Amino acid sequence: MKYSPADWAEKRKRGLGRYLMFDGILLTGGPFAVVMQVIGFFLLRDEGQTFGQYFSSARTWTTFFFHATLFGLIIGFINWRRNEKASAGTKADS
């Protein structure tokens, strides 16, 4: 488990929505989206498009939003379930 039992109890008390927003989207999805945009600059940009043009286009920011949101929600939910199972396992062992 990523958190101590006391930390997980506090995060669990605050709820799944808050966990998905902060631990999922912001802490996991954000960095993933940044890496995907940098990769996209080298692989997906239009011919002759400069660095500034690529990062100021609406398509770039739309894909950034979707990468951060979808990846963050999926990984956040997986981590929530993993932490729930680990927490249930430690309670059963006690």
pLDDT per residue as tens digits for the range 12-70: 999 999 999 999 999 999 999 999 999 999 998 888 889 999 999 999 999 999 999 99
- Looking at residue 24, its pLDDT comes to 96
User: Is the per-residue pLDDT at 92 higher than 70?
Assistant: no
pTM of this structure: 0.84
At position 55, the amino acid (one-letter code) is F
DSSP 46: P
Torsional sign, CA 46, 52, 56, 61: positive
How far is the C-alpha of 90 from the C-alpha of 23, rounded, in Å?
22
